Amino acid sequence: MRMDFPQVDLPVDVIAWTDVTEEVLNIYKQSCRLKACIFALCLEGSITVSINLMETEIKRGDLITLLPGTIIQFYGQREKFRLAFIGFSAHCVTGVNVIQSILSSFSTILEYPVLSINDTLTSYFNDYFALLSRVTTGDYPPDTHLSQEILKNMLYVIDRLYNIHPQEQRIAKSRKEEICHQLIQLVIENYTHERHAQFYADRLGISLQHLSTTVKQVTGKNVLDIIANVVLMDVKAKLKSTDMTVQEIAYSLNFPSASFFGKYFKRYVGMSPLEYRNS
């Protein structure tokens, strides 16, 4: 599959820092697509970044959730700034079913990856990140299983925050953005049994051409890529974190056969399901 942006991952399962400044973020000066899952908290100042091609200002008290596949670019700061950060590598993430962990807020996090939190929550997260920084840089860093448990904990907390956060603080969406939001929500609800773009166009009450054009304009992807992204996040987690056979995974997602499933997986990932499991 053609990679339209350089892929960025982390060298170990989990990394936590409490003093991220411009020098650390220089790696993101050019647009790149994250393979890792990253959570960051702005502790001081403000910076301007592009998240999924949308320019965003991050200020003190903002909590940032960057899921795998996010396109990120750092522009620069208007003043001195400091971030706390915890990141989980692609290897770590594949052992966690991210979609199921944040099912009720997944589409909202994709749309609004920056969430403003109050001073009390900011202090809690800062303390937690500081603790994780000590753990991950100590003499006994967490193994993969423990790192995945920490990731699950972070996703649970993020899901809770997004479910209680006031809707009125969010920016009103254009009609095209609303269509993409509704599409992602429908895909999350139906991906286990429906992967045809026409199905989603029908559910949205618009033509397939209108849906395809709108999704391309807003996200830079096509509808099938959106669907495949959700499917593959689930499949990768099952391959890495369960003992399900390839055939069982195929049937759980209503593929007509294990062979068809294998071809679908290889088309997007570049290797067979078993090769991925053993990689």
Q: Where are the domains of the chain?
A: 7-168, 175-278
**pTM for the structure as a whole:** 0.68
Describe the crossing of helices 223-241 and 175-190 by its angle, rounded to 10 degrees: 40
Q: Residue 63 burial by CB count (10 A; 0-12/13-18/19+): exposed, middle or buried?
A: buried
**Token duo for residue 245:** 């056979």
Report the distance separating Cα 22 and Cα 272, nearest Å. Answer: 40
Report the distance separating Cα 266 and Cα 170, nearest Å. Answer: 38
* Same topology between domain 7-168 and domain 175-278: no
Determine the pLDDT at residue 89. 93
Report the distance separating Cα 52 and Cα 41, nearest Å. Answer: 18
Determine the pLDDT at residue 29. 62
Determine the pLDDT at residue 4. 45
Determine the pLDDT at residue 39. 96
Q: Which residues of the chain have pLDDT under 70?
A: 1-6, 21-31, 53, 76-79, 166-173
Fold classification of 7-168 (topology level): Jelly Rolls (2.60.120)
Among residues 15, 39, 13, which one has the least CA distance to residue 92?
A: 13
Report the distance separating Cα 127 and Cα 130, nearest Å. Answer: 5
* Exposed e or buried b per residue across 108-119, where buried means at least 16 C-beta atoms within 10 angstroms of its C-beta: bbbbbbbbbbee
CATH class of 175-278: mainly alpha
